[in-house]
Amino acid sequence: MDLLDSVKGTMKVPILACLAATSFASALEVHEWGTFTVLSGANGAPVSWYQPGQDLAALPDFVGKAGNFKSGIARVRMETPVIYFYADKPQHVSVSATFKEGAISETFPFIATPISLAGIPATWSGTLHAPDDVEALALIPEENNPDPHEPYTAARNVPDAWIFKSDLEKDPFKQNQALAPQAEKFIFYRGAGNSTLPLHVMLDTDHTITVNNYTQEPTEGIALSVSDGMAAWKVIPAKNDSSTASTLKLDSTPRPVSEVEEELATHWVSALTEKGLTPDEASAMVATWRATWFREPGTRVLSIVPRAHVDAILPLEITPKPEKIERVFVSRHEIISDEKTRKLAAILTSDTALEAELASLELGRFSNGAVDIAAAWVKSEMIRRFHVMSPAPSASNATSAR
């Protein structure tokens, strides 16, 4: 059994004890994962989009929600970052996360202010308790309807993670009334903003996907298309030369989503582990997102965001300074094809209600953004047709104009 298997397969040996065997032991180690989601038309230009509240991934009632900003208009959804702690003894820690061009909208444990403003850090202060601390475990809130694939529950399936107990004593959502102790196996937060991600993804009419990488680090990811319960995917050829693009064409004979999903889950657990997450953490991240990453209809590119880019757009400060911090974020580039854009435009400009045709596009939570893309396409098409139909100015008119 190798080291990774031993870490994944046991709850009896803390992660720091396992890492000690390979000289990576530290007094405090921190691991984080999360997702950045962007939406674009086939030309790859990100659009500002919003999600109605009913389209947001459900969160437990106990999570602190700062208004409706998470569903507001933004280019980037920062979805479900979680921060895990591993220590050699109970200790006090302070954490600060700042979404440089965005706002942090939901957290657990709570932060001191419920008002979410762009570029304002979210801060937490509390104590770390061992994974088997009975008193700390009793403070972790129960969910009314726990679902192993709901975007919160799965993150708890990391046995070696230490428990963070918040110091916050006043409830920011209830006029600073006394707040019951809050504890969790991680710090959770998410938000929305307008950061720029390092990839530009385009989709041609022949379903060729072109990926431009604007960093000097290799692209690591996959392209996936899901429709009518069938899916096809390919690994993106790794390139670290920003002057050239990676191109690929997905298989024209897709397979059942259930079959492809298992392949993708295995692929991503391995990829995330190689980037620094423990196998338990990688499995928890994949379990959190497999329904939307792998089963949600649409065409997308999933890639690992270079660590330097994560640190630049989402600075993280922790006191005392950890001996090691791993931050593994995935970018999701969701693409609305030209074919879908034209069909959506035709449906929405028709004099006839075409609900069935609209449903057949399988736009899901990206519907509102897709409408904006279709509207922009209609406008550009109207301008093109206007110039085609407008007569060129005659020479005499041009002379008189002068």
Residue 166 within a domain = yes
| One domain for residues 143 and 174 | yes
Residue 11 scores a pLDDT above 70: no
- 196 and 290 in one domain? yes
Same domain, 281 and 192: yes
| Most confident by average pLDDT, 1-15, 232-246, 274-288 | 274-288
The pLDDT of 113-136, averaged and rounded, is: 90
- 49 and 190 co-located in one domain: yes
Q: Would you state the pLDDT for residue 10?
A: 38
pLDDT at 28 over 90: yes
Is residue 397 domain-resident?
no
111 with 186, same domain: the answer is yes
Residues 377 and 315 in one domain: no
Do 325 and 383 have their domain in common?
no
Which structural domain range is residue 357 located in? Answer: 342-388
Query: What is the number of structural domains in the chain?
Result: 2
Q: Are residues 375 and 237 in the same domain?
A: no
Tell me whether residue 396 is in a domain: no
What is the model's pLDDT at position 215? 83
Task: Find the range with the poorest average confidence among 4-18, 104-118, 123-137, 221-235.
Answer: 4-18
> Would the pLDDT of 152 be above 90?
no
Q: Is residue 152 part of a domain?
A: yes
> Does residue 395 lie within any of the structural domains?
no
**What average pLDDT does the structure give for the chain?**
86
Is pLDDT of 56 > 70? no
Q: What percent of the chain has pLDDT over 70?
A: 84
One domain, residues 241 and 326: yes
User: Which of 14-18, 21-25, 209-213 holds the top average pLDDT?
Assistant: 209-213
256 shares a domain with 318: yes
* 228 and 303 fall within a common domain: yes
**pLDDT-based confidence at 271, cuts 50/70/90?**
very high
Tell me if 240 is assigned to some domain.
yes
Residue 348 and residue 316 in one domain: no
Domain boundary among 299, 317, 336: 336
**Residue 113: per-residue pLDDT:** 83
* 402 inside domain: no
- The band of 396, judged by pLDDT with boundaries at 50, 70 and 90, is low
What value does the mean pLDDT take over residues 130-153? 82
Q: What is the pLDDT of residue 242?
A: 63
pLDDT of residue 12: 37
Query: Quick check: is 384 in a domain?
Result: yes
pLDDT at 399: 53
Distance CA 331, CA 363 (A): 19
Residue 57 has pLDDT above 90, yes or no: no
Q: pLDDT (tens digit, 9 = 90+) per residue, 289-327?
A: 999 999 999 999 999 999 999 999 999 999 999 999 999
